């Protein structure tokens, strides 16, 4: 039998959320206008069949912000991704929403 579990995660910057299916982490490092966004997912229930994520960010000094994201089929487990985005200099905050589908078990 093939069992599929779908999880949706929300996490703020420099944070870790652990649930019944694994762990997600999100970090931001801003270096003078180019922000490094680090996204990490570790499934404790088996392989990740698909994963999609959206990062929303806001620069409080300029009032600007945006969203970006992507989707992957059968990414590694654990999965880590780094995005570099030009945000301009300032205090940048963000949030990560990730959805994964995990399959485990066969018969």
Domain residue spans of the chain: 3-104
Note the pTM of the prediction, 2 decimals. 0.81
Q: What is the pLDDT of residues 27-72, one digit of tens each?
A: 898 778 999 999 998 888 888 888 889 999 999 999 999 999 999 9
Question: Rounded to whole angstroms, how far apart are CA atoms 56 and 86?
Answer: 13
Assign domain 3-104 one CATH number from 2.60.40, 3.30.70, 1.10.287, 3.30.530: 2.60.40
Question: Rounded to whole angstroms, how far apart are CA atoms 84 and 71?
Answer: 17
H/E element holding 81? strand 79-86
pLDDT at 5 (0 to 100): 45
Q: What is the pLDDT of residues 9-26, one digit of tens each?
A: 555 567 888 877 788 888
């Amino acid at each position: 039998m093939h069992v599929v579990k779908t999880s949706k995660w929300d996490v703020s910057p420099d944070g870790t959320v652990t649930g019944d299916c694994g762990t997600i982490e999100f970090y931001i490092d801003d270096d003078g206008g180019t922000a490094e966004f680090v996204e990490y997912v570790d499934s404790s229930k088996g392989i990740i069949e698909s994963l999609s994520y959206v990062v929303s960010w806001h620069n409080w000094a300029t009032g600007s912000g945006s969203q970006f994201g992507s989707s992957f089929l059968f990414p590694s487990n654990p999965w880590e991704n780094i995005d570099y985005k030009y945000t301009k200099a300032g205090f940048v905050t963000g949030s990560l929403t990730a959805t994964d589908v995990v399959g485990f078990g066969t018969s």
